[in-house]
């Protein structure tokens, strides 16, 4: 049985080392927020399963084989007619990234409530999904709602990262409504501050975000702030976990997903929330050293070596306050 089941979209990634307009070579990879999360968890030792749809194009065998090689159970990755989503990413001379997405009508966008079954979820500890999954199509949004409802009924802990991408929504108001419909089922909420939380919740300060979400009944809130660390609210306390900084940052793509995967792995193993946030911070910090959403995810050996040495431990006087 899997420890963590996730649902969402994974696309083919083509990346270049310079601007797309001048690139003569593109390298193939893959990425998608919920799949990135699963791979991060699997590299730390969790058993994982992915609920998605894959297309009928030549990329599908590559995707399925790559996911399986990372320890992801693909038995719930349904094959359908149509293309897989594709995105192109390149690194510009000033260090900024350039993206182009081709996902309209993709196989994953046809996700529907029928993809979420008791058999797919039963026996797992955590079900994870995201706002991107909600946003890719109306049927995928319904699938997310069915997933969180069904997971909750089966006794799984429900994890949700809003991962706001305004370009995927008709309006921020629509994104807020989608969040509101799933939040009553969420046990582990993983937003990012300040921009995302300001748009979705009207609050920029991470501690205030944590307090607001706890007041709405979410048992565990982890507010990610990049280099400013993570605010963790659980029970009556708020803990601040610092970021783990490794020096030069090469690519932040998927850093939040890496945090999610490590934190969920830790929680599935029974770690306390503050320790789970530390593990997430270390994983995200190591991930940004390299290119790509998945290729640069660290190994469990790298992460645990730093964790056991006390990396990303809150400083005295910074650790805890009361709700």
Peptide bond into 194 cis (omega under 30): yes
Whole-angstrom distance, CA of residue 106 vs CA of residue 280: 31
On whether the CB atoms of residues 5 and 49 are closer than 8 A, the answer is yes
Q: How many Cα atoms occupy the beta-carbon half-sphere of 3 within 13 Å?
A: 22
Peptide bond into 35 cis (omega under 30): no
Nearest Cα residue to 125 out of 291, 307, 12, 268: 268
Note if 228 is an active site residue.
no
CB-based contacts of 226, cutoff 8 Å, min separation 6: 192, 243, 252, 255
- Catalytic residue, chosen from 3, 115, 187, 257, is 257
Residue 163 — φ and ψ, nearest 5°?
A: 40, 55
Whole-angstrom distance, CA of residue 211 vs CA of residue 278: 20
Whole-angstrom distance, CA of residue 311 vs CA of residue 221: 21
Residue 141 — φ and ψ, nearest 5°?
A: -60, -40
Whole-angstrom distance, CA of residue 54 vs CA of residue 305: 36
Question: What CA–CA distances, in Å, run from 310 to 221, 240, 314?
Answer: 22, 15, 9
Give the distance, in angstroms, between the CA of residue 152 and the centroid of all CA atoms in the same chain. 19
Pairing label, strands 220-224, 230-234: antiparallel
Catalytically annotated residues: 257
């Amino acid at each position: 049985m899997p420890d963590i089941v996730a649902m969402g979209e994974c696309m083919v990634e083509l990346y270049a080392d310079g601007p797309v307009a001048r690139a003569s070579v593109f390298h193939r990879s893959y990425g998608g927020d919920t799949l990135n999360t699963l791979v991060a968890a699997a590299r730390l030792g969790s058993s994982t399963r992915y609920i998605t749809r894959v297309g009928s194009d030549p990329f599908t065998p590559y995707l399925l084989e790559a996911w399986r090689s990372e320890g992801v159970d693909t038995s719930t990755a349904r094959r359908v007619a149509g293309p897989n989503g594709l995105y192109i990413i390149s690194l510009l001379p000033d260090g900024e990234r350039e993206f182009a997405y081709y996902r309209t009508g993709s196989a994953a966008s046809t996700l529907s409530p029928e993809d979420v079954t008791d058999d797919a979820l039963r026996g797992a500890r955590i079900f994870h999904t995201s706002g991107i999954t909600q946003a890719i199509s109306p049927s995928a949004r319904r699938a997310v709602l069915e997933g969180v409802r069904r997971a909750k009924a089966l006794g799984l802990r429900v994890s949700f990262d809003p991962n706001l991408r305004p370009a995927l929504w008709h309006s921020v108001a629509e994104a807020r409504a989608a969040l509101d419909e799933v939040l009553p089922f969420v046990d582990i909420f993983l937003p990012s501050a300040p921009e995302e939380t300001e748009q979705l919740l009207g609050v920029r300060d991470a501690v205030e975000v944590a307090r607001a979400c706890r007041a709405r009944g979410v048992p565990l809130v982890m507010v990610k702030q990049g280099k400013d660390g993570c605010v963790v609210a659980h029970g009556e306390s708020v803990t601040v976990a610092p970021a783990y900084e490794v020096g030069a940052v090469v690519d932040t793509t998927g850093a939040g997903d890496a945090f999610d995967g490590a934190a969920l792995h830790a929680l599935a193993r029974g770690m306390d929330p503050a320790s789970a946030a530390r593990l997430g911070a270390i994983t995200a910090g190591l991930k940004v050293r390299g290119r790509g959403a998945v290729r640069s995810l660290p190994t469990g050996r790298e992460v645990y070596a730093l964790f056991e040495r006390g990396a990303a431990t809150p400083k005295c006087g910074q650790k805890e306050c009361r709700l």
